Amino acid sequence: MEQGKFSMPLLGDDFPELEVKTTHGPMKIPADLKGSWFVLFSHPADYTPVCTTEFVAFQKRFEEFEKINCKLIGMSVDQVFSHIKWGEWISEKLNVDIKFPIIAANDAIAQKLGMLHPNKGTNTVRAVFVGDPEGKIRLIFYYPQELGRNMDEILRAVKGLQITDKEGVALPAGWPDNELIQDRVIVPPATDEKTAKERKTQYDNFDWWFCHRPLKK
């Protein structure tokens, strides 16, 4: 692939419209996911060790994602029959039933999502796209083929984005286990002198520009 042909969607963009074949039948993305958060993740290839551990890990957290109104969708450039057979193998050998759909992508789809990286061969990289109920891309992770993903971090990220949307706050590093403020949330900094002076009496703080409060229940 020529370097100049590589492109990828950006944060805040509408998720590219895709009509795809999946193990659950044809889907239109993001149209069929409207009203739900979603995590669409690509893997290099079926029947590979790291990808197998990832699919098991995602499935182990399937119900946790469902509880927060978030759909899981897998993807690689393997054909649907390969996805189906691999899912059967995982069920038979590892006693884990994959309940989320797996997209059979082609090079055009993978390239549209920036999953075929120059100088990384013809397999898709380990991309993760988090989309919101309006189909906007809210978070993107890219991992190399040799490094498996941390699904707890992906779950944490979706929960965090939902909280920031709902409460209009920011979240600290490692939330909800931050070294400074634990599971508290950060109040957006003041943008005028009057508000800045008031902040120290309104919130717990380290200074007017670093105020925090408990998460609303």
pLDDT in single tens digits along all 217 residues of the chain: 344 455 678 899 999 998 999 999 999 999 999 999 999 999 888 999 999 999 999 999 999 999 999 999 999 888 999 999 999 999 999 999 999 999 998 877 777 777 765 555 556 678 899 999 999 999 999 888 889 999 999 999 999 999 999 999 999 999 999 999 999 999 998 999 999 999 989 999 999 999 999 998 6
CA dist 208 to 8, 37, 74, 167, 199, Å? 38, 34, 44, 19, 5
Q: Which residue has the tokens 């995982």?
A: 90
Q: Which residues are catalytic?
A: 51
Predicted pLDDT of residue 119? 57
Phi first, then psi, for residue 163 (nearest 5°) are -70, -45
d(CA 154, CA 196): 34
Predicted pLDDT of residue 111? 74
CATH 3.30.1020.10 positions along the chain are 168-217
CATH 3.40.30.10 positions along the chain are 3-149
Q: Could you tell me whether strands 70-76 and 37-42 are parallel, antiparallel, or unpaired per DSSP bridges?
A: parallel
3-state SS class at 99: coil
The alpha carbon of residue 164 and the mean position of all alpha carbons in its chain are separated, in whole angstroms, by: 15
In CATH, which of 3.30.1020.10, 3.40.50.1370, 3.40.50.1360, 3.30.420.40 is domain 168-217?
Answer: 3.30.1020.10
CATH 1.10.490.20 assigned to 3-149: no
